[in-house]
Amino acid sequence: MDYCLQLTQTSDLCRVRFPAMASTCEVIFDTTDSTLALALGQLVQAETQRIERHLSRYRDDNIIFQINNANGVAVVVDDETADMLDFAATLWQLSNGLFDITSGKLRAIWRFDGSDNVPEQAAIDTILPLIGWQKVQWQRPTLTLPAGMEIDLGGIGKEYAVDKAYDLVKSQFKDAFLVNFGGDLRVQGPRKNGHPWQVGIETVTDENNNNMQQQETIIDISNGGLATSGDSRRYLLKNNQRYSHILNPLTGWPVVSAPRSITTIAPTCVEAGLCSSLAMLMGIDAEAFLEEQNVTYWGIR
Amino acid sequence: MQLINKKLSFSASLALATSTLLGANTQVNAEEGWQADSAVLIYNENNGRVSAIEPAVNLRRTYEDESSINLRVVYDALTGASPNGAASASVAQTFTSASGSAAQTANAQAMTSSSGSTSRQVTPSPNVNTIVTHSYDDDDDDDEGEGHSTTYTIAPSDIPLDPSFEDSRTTVSLGWTKPLEDNYTVNLGGSYSTEGDFTSFSVNGAVAKDFNQKSTTLSAGLNLEFDTVTPNGGLPDPLTSYATRNTIGESDSKNVVDTIVGLTQVINRRWITQFNISLSQSSGHHSDPYKILTVADQGNLITDPENAGNYLYLFESRPDNRQKLSLYWQNKFAIMSNNVLDLSYRYMTDDWGINSHTVDATFHWQLSDSFYLEPHARYYEQTAADFYTPFLSLGDDVVINSGAITALVDYASSDPRLGAFSANTYGLKMGFPLSDTRELSLSVETYQQQDKNIRKEVAAGSHLDGQSQFAELSANWVQLGYSVRW
Amino acid sequence: MNKKITISVLTLAALVLNGCSTVKPWERDLLAKPQMALDSDPLKTAFDDHIYFSKEASSGGRGFGGGGCGCN
């Protein structure tokens, strides 16, 4: 694990950066007190690394590993994991099965490396029986996963970490700040100069790395969470058919006609993240879904 | 979940699920809301002395800018017996407690008409404790007070207690706190309290400023209190005969100015300390209108020259001014993650000659999320006021010349609260946090005083020989509390 | 006597002010707990203070002397 933490001070801001959750994580403080920024940054880093250690599916020493290797045996989980599972269960229901933390298994056959390696239906058919939250027995705090199934909280982990970092800073810092973990962010504002935070949405590049949109979209945000779902770099291309990395757990296939990217704003980063990823899962109906829910969004097709 | 799905929109359901996931933190950014604390105190003194029941409610509204308003109402109902200040003697003593002015004449009548303790006290019957109550005008409009006259007889060697002690008191306090610019906080408040023979009104204000990222807080406050005492039966003339009951008016007042400066310092992650200096200047009527002193000649009770058939007792007399200086030092130490030791010390000195020390220790012992214990111990000791005396001596303090009573002292009181004593309190509080927002608690305390006065010598075989000169108090109280936030 | 005490107390206050470094806001996890509040149960404090006020010659110190009662 990389423990490096970078502190940058400008004329009116301090920024700390550290790598975690496969992204660059940063917190920008509307203060010139670099000692304070550093100390708070270290707190955020420690909390983020804790969440990563706790919920990552790439480790063999945490609760997720224990669950995924229980072989059909019931596992009693801790409070934080239980809260996540409750949340996942609710979202599974709300999304009619589109949001499913057991769908990670599909990644074993779907590798979105820009190649044309689209798997055979037969391969997908062998995986599908191991997917579906309805097959899981979840009676807080006990989780029983049928042998062979896996859960992956990666779909909400980063947004969750952003909100946790936000709460942590908020409790000890009275001025404006911005938490940004690889494009998923939460802000507290407005800044001392009276302005909101300005966030540029990452421009989507096409297959030839040309900017599809000439101008970067700048979003003014004073309060709340912002998250983007997109497939700018993770896709497959076969026979001119673009396969987005958003997989429908019901079919085992990538969502058809999904937007290239959806950015949403919500009170929290978790909500923003869920809204944008569910919109992506809706495919062609993404924008309609967001309109219906009255969600502020920016979509690129 | 189906219910949520149907009743709430997707985004509302998501918001609900998210707030559950992220916990209370996201919702309670500013701790805006209400808090209600309620409690009832049941207080009992041993040997049938005072008992009291006091319900109290404290309501606090906190706003988003961290300002708050606070309302507190306390009701206090007391009954029982309280030392009247007379010395216990080897003979029975009869007293007529304060009453409406009509009772002045009733006093003498009571002395002769109460069977069992007629005429002089020369033939005491052991354990006589006759109480005769005369009730005067029950008319509520009457502004002279309760209008009760009670005659009671105290058996030999018993501490003279006035059994008619009965009062109820209501206190209403309002407070307002607001954080201002530059780490200043201002606090304004007022309080009104009324009981049968006493009203009090006070206003107070305080300013605090935080320094060093709120590690240091300096505060200064001022409290002005205006009291009016309207004793039943009028204001007795100090150091004159209790049986004669000369009054010097219906009521009198007392004003108190309290100033306090304080320093609160966070020493480290586990230790916070507070230091206060306070000065209290009180002027006006301080004497207790119901407290008297025995006048003894070589330890023997003497006849009131103005009221044949009565022993001589004089109304007490206290100075018109009192200045108190208090130093208070409190420390709170966090031990492990949830336990806290609270240690405090107070020194008080006043110009009546009283010095006191108070040491208090409480340990908050968090046994689980839903249960904690707080054992508590307190030690208190005070020296006596210069004018404290268990009784007055004929010749030294009082002379009688051709039937006229003349006090040689300006001030005298036998009120045990002005004597020298130490006191121990032991208590235990049990707290039951029912949830993040509700808590139930029960605490029990036991209090015991020990006499520390120098014994005043009396002649062997006299009425006061071998008698107690100080009414040591022991008391117990129970408090049940319930708090809720929303 | 009084003078002596005041002076030693002021010295103490000065020590307290200078002798410690500032505790940073993010180190206030323990200090923020309700049981660390200087007066963690105000109603109980008020009840107890009132009892002592009516039975002893001293009052106040923590805050204002507390009065409003004919009991002393």
The domain that holds B94 is classified in CATH as 2.40.160.40
10 Å CB burial of residue B458 (0-12, 13-18, 19+) is: buried
The 10s digit of each residue's pLDDT in B95-113 is 976 543 333 333 333 333 3
Q: What is the pLDDT of residue B276?
A: 95
Of the candidates B4, B20, B26, the beta carbon closest to that of A167 is on B26
Strand spans (E) along B269-396:
271-284, 292-297, 300-301, 313-315, 321-335, 339-350, 355-368, 371-382, 392-393
Measured distance CA(C27)–CA(B40) in Å, rounded: 37
Number of separate domains in chain B: 1
Instruction: Establish if B259 belongs to a structural domain.
Output: yes
Main-chain dihedrals φ then ψ at residue B261, nearest 5 degrees: -120, 140
Nearest by Cα to A87 from C69, B22, B35:
B22
* % of chain B residues with pLDDT over 90: 66
Contacts of B342 in chain C (CB under 8 A): 40
Chain-chain contact of C60 with B349 (C-beta, under 8 angstroms): no
* Residue B4 placed within a domain: no
Q: Token pair of A138, please? A: 């979840």
User: Model confidence over B202-211: pLDDT tens digits?
Assistant: 999 999 998 8
Q: Are strands B292-297 and B392-393 parallel, antiparallel or unpaired?
A: parallel
Task: List all chains that touch chain C, counting a touch as 3 or more CB pairs closer than 8 Å.
Answer: A, B
Of B340, B418, B477, the CB nearest to C51: B477
**pLDDT value of residue B32:** 78
In terms of Cα–Cα distance, which of B208, B173, B175, B176 is closest to B65?
A: B176
Asked if the bond preceding A190 is cis, omega within 30° of 0, the reply is: yes
Q: Measured between CA atoms, how close is B486 to chain A, in angstroms?
A: 20
**What is d(CA B209, CA B216) in angstroms, rounded to the nearest whole number?**
8
Contact: A271, B18; criterion CB under 8 Å:
yes
CB atoms within 10 A of CB B125: 12
Name the H helices within B97-153. 103-113
Partner-chain residue, chosen from B268, B350, B385, that has the shortest CB–CB distance to C20: B268
Q: What is the radius of gyration, based on Cα positions, of chain B?
A: 27
**pLDDT of A143 over the 90 cut:** yes
Interface of chain A toward chain B, CB-CB under 8 angstroms:
83-84, 86-87, 89-91, 93-94, 160, 163-164, 167, 170-171, 266-268, 270-271, 274-275, 293-295
pLDDT of residue B356: 97
pLDDT surpassing 80 at residue A182? yes
**B481 with B39: CB under 8 angstroms?**
yes
Distance from C-alpha of B175 to C-alpha of B180, rounded to nearest angstrom: 16
Residues B154, B92 contacting (CB under 8 angstroms): yes
Nearest by CB to A83, from B1, B21, B26: name it.
B21
**Range B7-12 average pLDDT:** 65
CA distance A256 to A296: 23
Cβ within 8 Å of residue A192, ≥6 positions away? A12, A30, A175, A176
Most confident of A186-200, B62-76, B343-357: B343-357
The reported pTM is: 0.62
Q: Cβ atoms within 10 A of the Cβ of C24, count? A: 16
ipTM: 0.85
Give the mean model confidence (pLDDT) for residues A17-30. 91
Distance CA A104, CA A113 (A): 16
* Structural domain containing residue B189: 14-485
Pairs from B18-22 (Cβ < 8 Å, separation ≥ 24)? B18/A87, B18/A267, B18/A268, B18/A270, B18/A271, B18/A274, B20/A83, B20/A86, B20/A87, B21/A83, B21/A84, B21/A86, B21/A87, B21/A160, B21/A270, B22/A160, B22/A163, B22/A164, B22/A167, B22/A268, B22/A270
Do C28 and A172 form a contact (C-beta atoms < 8 A)?
yes
| Pick from A122-136, B15-29, B61-75, B309-323: least confident | B15-29
Q: Would you say residue B7 lies in a domain?
A: no
Asked whether residue B6 is domain-assigned, the answer is no
A208 versus B342: the higher-pLDDT residue is B342
Cβ B263 vs Cβ B240: under 8 Å = no
Element (H, E) at A177: strand A177-181
